[in-house]
Amino acid sequence: MTAEPGPLRVVIADDQASVREGLVLLLGGLPGIEVVGAAADGEQALELVAEHRPDAILLDLHMPVLDGIGATRRLVAEHPGVAIVVLTTYVDDSSVLEALQAGARSYLTKDADRTDIARALQAAAGGLTVFDPRVHDTLLAAAVAPAQSQLERAADPGRPAPPDGLTHREVEILALISGGLTNPEIAERLYLSNHTVKTHINRIFAKTGSRDRVAAIGYARRHNIG
Residue 149 has pLDDT above 60, yes or no: no
Residue 151 has pLDDT above 50, yes or no: no
The C-alpha angle 153, 142, 77, rounded to 5 degrees, equals 130
Region class of 210: left (phi > 0), else alpha (psi between -120 and 50), else beta: beta
Whole-structure pTM over 0.75, yes or no? Answer: no
Mean pLDDT of 189-213: 85
Mean pLDDT of 88-95: 73
Q: CB neighbours (10 Å) of residue 29?
A: 10
- Residue 195 CA to residue 43 CA, distance in Å, equals 20
CA distances from 63 to 31, 99, 176, 216 (A): 29, 14, 28, 29
Contact 183, 213 (CB under 8 A): no
Strand partners, 208: none
- Residue 123 CA to residue 171 CA, distance in Å, equals 40
pLDDT digits (tens, 9 = 90+) for 6-36: 899 999 999 999 999 999 999 988 989 999 9
CA distances from 107 to 16, 25, 89, 150 (A): 19, 21, 10, 29
Write down the pLDDT at residue 140: 58
- Residue 54 CA to residue 31 CA, distance in Å, equals 16
pLDDT digits (tens, 9 = 90+) for 98-126: 888 889 988 888 888 889 999 999 999 99
Q: Which domains does the chain have, with CATH numbers?
A: 8-134 (3.40.50.2300), 162-226 (1.10.10.10)
Strand partners, 88: 109
Contact 75, 68 (CB under 8 A): no
Beta strands in 29-183 (DSSP E): 33-39, 56-59, 83-88, 106-109
